[in-house]
Amino acid sequence: MLGLVALDSGATGAESGFQPVVTRSPAADRIAERPDYAHVLGDGMGWLEGGIESRTRYELREGDYAAGLLSDDPLVTRNLIYLGVKRVLDPFRFAAELLDSRRFFSGLGDTPNVVNTLEPLQAYAQLHFDRGAGNAPLSLSFGRMAFDWADRRLIARNRNRNTISAFDGLRLRMGDENAPWEIDAIAVRPVERSVDNTDVSADDLMLYGLAGYWRGWSPHVVLEPYWLWLDQREAGNPAARRNLHTLGLHAFGQWGRGGAWDYDLSLAGQWGRSADLTHRAQAAHVEVGRTWTTGWKPRLALWLNYASGDRSPADRGNQRFDPLYGATFSFYGFSSYFTWQNMINPALRLSFRPAKMLKCEIIHRAMWLADRSDAWVKSGRRDATGGSGSYIGQELDVRLVWQLAPSFEIDIAYAHFFPGSFASSTGAAPPGQLFQVAGTLRF
């Protein structure tokens, strides 16, 4: 897929005919600033941006390993409203976004990952210059923001989850996602979502980051190196303290006639301290895909996810990778049983379009523990002796997205988890299932 993110931010590479490719890896392409459902309102200078997105989803979960094997079949809703003002008051710009996430008919208690009612997801002011350093757009944003940053496996604006992560603080961008190069720096506090109270930013946690984007070699090579520093003090709770540095590289591109072949690569290393233990960890994603130009435009991709695990609960070190604020749904399974921690996860994905408005995908995944003495993190299961082995199981995912009208789509997803020897050796191990059907309106 060749394309651009349609942001109007002044002089960009798009105006000179430069069109960088975006990754074909599922769910890895980022929303840099403006949400994807927003658009310019009215004619003329296009100084007002806005949009409404309303999603209603039915979920059926049976034997949910991430919830103690409980089953549930709720109705969940997520409504978003966005307004942005630009150009008319330049260099001053403003943006606000309201989030309302709810769950109905559930037998489980509400959690901040599902319920977050009437909260400001974004509210920030921005100094924007169409031509700043190197004749590229320059912006400084201050306030509450929600965005994808560098590799979505570490900081993501959540797509499937019913609530969305946000951050309070400063963000400096030089260049934009349509230009040959970009620099993106953040100094923010993660927002702590609350079911019953107003969301506030963490008062004992800071997240700093610096990312670079080099697209000058597109379509063959796009490089996105980054560094993140998470400083969580938690003076009264040593087990929650983290001082972690994450250094990584996200790279992707296409080659062959018409970009038939593509790849996506993520490499990350972590060091510092967590829970007053020395922290050293690694993670990687390697993916290769092939797209055919036949009528259904099929793409077949093979990938491997890896994240290190903790070698021993008794030593003075921690080797389990910390995925920070990353997405999980399309990366590690529709079931949401897994995250980028203590895993060896090969997967095979077939995607195709039987019709112009219908997208389909089938993914088969297998899961092993990277270290058999560490936990299957989302389930909370651990055999510190390593005697239960490392094979967790397999998952089959199927998804259809049908664009019934320009403003309305149906999204249907199914996941079936086949438990392996580790699951059956550490407790009850029934098959797990997820079925969800969502209708989304956008205006």
- Average per-residue pLDDT for the chain: 93
Pairing of strands 75-85, 70-72: unpaired
> For 133-150, what is the mean pLDDT?
92
Q: What is residue 19's predicted lDDT score, i.e. its pLDDT? A: 85
Contact (Cβ atoms closer than 8 angstroms) between residue 144 and residue 161: no
Q: Is the pLDDT of residue 9 over 50?
A: no
pLDDT tens digits along 178-221: 889 999 999 999 999 999 999 999 999 999 999 999 999 999 99
> For 254-267, what is the mean pLDDT?
95
Torsion of CA 308, 309, 312, 316, to 10 degrees: 60
End-to-end CA distance of the chain, in Å? 25
Long-range pairs of 198-206 with CB within 8 A, sequence gap ≥ 24? 198/119, 199/116, 199/119, 199/120, 199/166, 201/144, 201/167, 201/168, 201/169, 202/232, 204/232, 204/233, 204/234, 204/235, 205/230, 205/231, 205/232, 205/233, 206/230, 206/231
Q: Is the pLDDT of residue 235 over 70?
A: no
Q: What is residue 152's predicted lDDT score, i.e. its pLDDT? A: 95
Q: What is residue 259's predicted lDDT score, i.e. its pLDDT? A: 92
Contact (Cβ atoms closer than 8 angstroms) between residue 99 and residue 116: yes
> For 224-235, what is the mean pLDDT?
92
pLDDT-based confidence at 316, cuts 50/70/90?
very high
Q: What is residue 420's predicted lDDT score, i.e. its pLDDT? A: 98
Q: What is residue 434's predicted lDDT score, i.e. its pLDDT? A: 98
pLDDT-based confidence at 7, cuts 50/70/90?
very low
> For 226-253, what is the mean pLDDT?
92
Assess whether the previous peptide bond of 180 is cis (omega < 30° from 0). Answer: no
> For 44-56, what is the mean pLDDT?
90
> For 40-60, what is the mean pLDDT?
90
Q: Which phi and psi (to 5°) does residue 257 adopt? A: -65, 125
> For 40-65, what is the mean pLDDT?
91
Considering only 6-15, 242-251, 341-350, which range has the smallest mean pLDDT? Answer: 6-15
Q: Is the pLDDT of residue 17 over 70?
A: no
Q: Is the pLDDT of residue 15 over 50?
A: no
> For 148-176, what is the mean pLDDT?
96
- Which distant-in-sequence residues (6+ apart) come within 8 Å of 43 by Cβ? none
pLDDT tens digits along 319-339: 999 999 999 999 999 999 999
Q: Is the pLDDT of residue 12 over 90?
A: no
What span, in angstroms and rounded, lies between the C-alpha atoms of 282 and 156?
19
Distances (CA, A) of 411 to 11, 39, 47, 415, 416: 36, 22, 32, 14, 17
What span, in angstroms and rounded, lies between the C-alpha atoms of 429 and 418?
9
* 307, two tokens: 């994240």
Q: Is the pLDDT of residue 1 over 60?
A: no
Q: What is residue 313's predicted lDDT score, i.e. its pLDDT? A: 87
Locate the DSSP E strands across 75-163. 75-85, 92-104, 116-129, 138-145
| Domain positions in the chain | 13-442
Pairing of strands 116-129, 138-145: antiparallel
Determine the CATH number of domain 13-442: 2.40.160.100
Q: What is residue 44's predicted lDDT score, i.e. its pLDDT? A: 61
What span, in angstroms and rounded, lies between the C-alpha atoms of 118 and 135?
40
Q: What is residue 91's predicted lDDT score, i.e. its pLDDT? A: 95
